[in-house]
Amino acid sequence: MLNRRHFLGLSGIAAGTGVLLPVGALTAGQPAPPAQAPPGPAGRAAGPFSVRMPVPPTLGPVARTGDTDIYHLDILPADLELLPGVLTSCLTFGGSFVGPTIRAREGRRVQITYRNRLPEAANVHLHGGHVPADSDGHPMQLIDPGSERRYEYPNRQPGTTLWYHDHSHHAEADHVYRGMHAFYLIEGADEHRYHLPRDEYDVPIAIRDAQFDADGRLVHGDPPNRNVILVNGRPKPYFPVAARRYRLRLLNSSTLRFLKLNFGPLPVLQIGSDGGLLPAPIDRTGTDFPLAAGERVDLVVDFSGQPVGSRFMLTNQGQFTGNDQIEPVLRFDVNRTARDSGRVPDRLRPLPGLPPATVNREVKLSFDLTGQPIGLIDGRPFDADRVDQRIRRGATEIWTITNGDVATKYGPIQHSFHLHMTQFRVLDRDGRPPLPGDAGLKDTIPLPPGTSVRVQATFADYLGRYVYHCHMLEHSSAGMMGQMEIVD
Ligand code: C2O
Ligand code: CU
Ligand code: CU
């Protein structure tokens, strides 16, 4: 058998666009030799906490009609300063990495036209969005180079933190890795009631890993070498804060890496998860926030009363570094006092009821590792011409999702599960209570090797074909994706 280092370093999966994806991708989350590659001369010289964390720009609508906000956005290459003092070629939404944030309101439609100025096909998926099938960015619904496509988002779902990213089949991992990811926030019609921090105190934060070569180019290679953590696109930045409460919306925008974040001694209330606010805030001071790739968590972090000049670290417990070491990834610098008399109410937004389920399904994620790794769901790789699950519109179903990769020839392999079209509730994990991160409405969850999880979802409103998949995007790129069709 190949030793792991060899395995991680030398093989590749051929992808549709001619891009090579790393076989090492499969074992993300497994111990691996510590990465040695420096982040490049400029990044190394500058040292940690030398750049400020940017907040992604907000995209303004080009027009507003009665109930619709109309946006235009280009998908285009851009050379950007990610590491200090060096330009990196990226694939972007609107020329920034992270792309521009779209701030929608519950009940107001968004109509957005994307023009693809890349030399290759791309598309856009609103992750966590409850949208019609022809606006979902199905992997086969591509925008050709030079063309445009219009997506319609009704925003008829509870206010929450979504994100948008490329989903073009076989290329999604590479496109997202090179920059095509951004926030899409829906403000709930009820949200004013909770007096949550807003405007400059409501900050989306996307955290992900990356590997750079000595010239600052992004390398989409083996996961253990992705040794730079980017926070809103900059390595180990600092962020000046006022001594008050902040709403921080964290997204793990890695294609593979699982994060385990911790705010140290700062008071932290969890107020929401993927699909919106929780019924009540949960005190998570001092606890870890494990986030699978694509997962979000909505927090109120309290800097009130902290002296000007004090500093706090957001840390991550590394999973590709071999020794599970804890490393700081973002520093908060308290640089001003502030008045903030608000507090998070004891009750937030009630969750929708759980109607009785009428259908049970079993879904199993695994790899075929006999040759080049092939991602499978229920033993088959993704086939756009095949419908794997036919679901009646309006039905409530329970899905039992299993990670079958417990004892492969390369050891256990981590997966995650993401469902399009609707949010679900986690009922239990192998008969035991859900994890803290499973609370509320969810669309993306970790699926550790050999475990299974039961989730319940209602498939309302729309007809047509949607996908579900492992959100370790190298895995879905390699076939770990299924297709469902909602029918009348
Ligand atoms: Cu975040 Cu199928 O996507
Ligand atoms: Cu999605
Ligand atoms: Cu997977």
Question: What type of residue sits at position 209?
Answer: D
What is the distance between the alpha carbons of residues 388 and 390, in angstroms, rounded to a whole number?
A: 7
What is the distance between the alpha carbons of residues 350 and 95, in angstroms, rounded to a whole number?
A: 38
Residue 23's pLDDT band (boundaries 50, 70, 90)? Answer: very low
* E runs forming strands in 179-325: 181-187, 202-210, 228-231, 234-235, 238-242, 245-252, 259-262, 268-273, 276-283, 289-291, 296-302, 311-317
Determine whether the shortest distance from the Cβ of 127 to ligand 1 is under 6 A: yes
| 167 CA → ligand 1 middle, Å | 7
How many CB atoms are located within 10 Å of the residue 456 CB?
16
Annotation: CATH topology of 63-190? Immunoglobulin-like (2.60.40)
pLDDT single digits (tens) 272-300: 999 999 999 999 999 999 999 999 999 99
Which atom of ligand 1 approaches the CA of 294 most closely?
1
Which atom of ligand 1 approaches the CA of 444 most closely?
1
Residue 358 confidence (pLDDT): 98
Q: Domain 194-336: what homologous superfamily?
A: Cupredoxins -  blue copper proteins (2.60.40.420)
Distances (CA, A) of 289 to 112, 113, 258, 269, 329: 33, 35, 10, 12, 14
In this structure, of 34-43, 369-378, 433-442, the range with the lowest mean pLDDT score is 34-43
pLDDT single digits (tens) 134-149: 999 999 999 999 999 9
Question: What type of residue sits at position 479?
Answer: G
The residue whose C-alpha atom lies closest to atom 1 belonging to ligand 1 is 127
Residue 6's pLDDT band (boundaries 50, 70, 90)? Answer: very low
| 129 CA → ligand 2 middle, Å | 7
Tokens of 218: 């992004």
Ligand nearest to the Cα of 468, by number? 1
Determine whether the shortest distance from the Cβ of 236 to ligand 1 is under 6 A: no
| 14 CA → ligand 1 middle, Å | 21
Determine whether the shortest distance from the Cβ of 418 to ligand 1 is under 6 A: yes
Determine whether the shortest distance from the Cβ of 167 to ligand 1 is under 6 A: yes
| 419 CA → ligand 2 middle, Å | 6
- 205 closest CA partner among 263, 264, 256, 156: 263
What is the distance between the alpha carbons of residues 426 and 454, in angstroms, rounded to a whole number?
A: 6
Residue 47 confidence (pLDDT): 85
* E runs forming strands in 5-86: 12-14, 20-22, 63-64, 68-81
Write out the residue limits of the CATH 2.60.40.420 domain(s) in the chain: 4-29+351-487, 63-190, 194-336
Annotation: CATH topology of 4-29+351-487? Immunoglobulin-like (2.60.40)
pLDDT single digits (tens) 61-87: 999 999 999 999 999 999 999 999 999
Determine whether the shortest distance from the Cβ of 125 to ligand 1 is under 6 A: yes
| 468 CA → ligand 2 middle, Å | 8
State the pairing for strand pair 125-127/160-165: antiparallel
pLDDT single digits (tens) 299-348: 999 999 999 999 999 999 976 555 678 999 999 999 999 988 789 999 99
pLDDT single digits (tens) 446-467: 999 999 999 999 999 999 999 9
Determine whether the shortest distance from the Cβ of 137 to ligand 1 is under 6 A: no
Average pLDDT of the chain is 91
Residue 342 confidence (pLDDT): 84
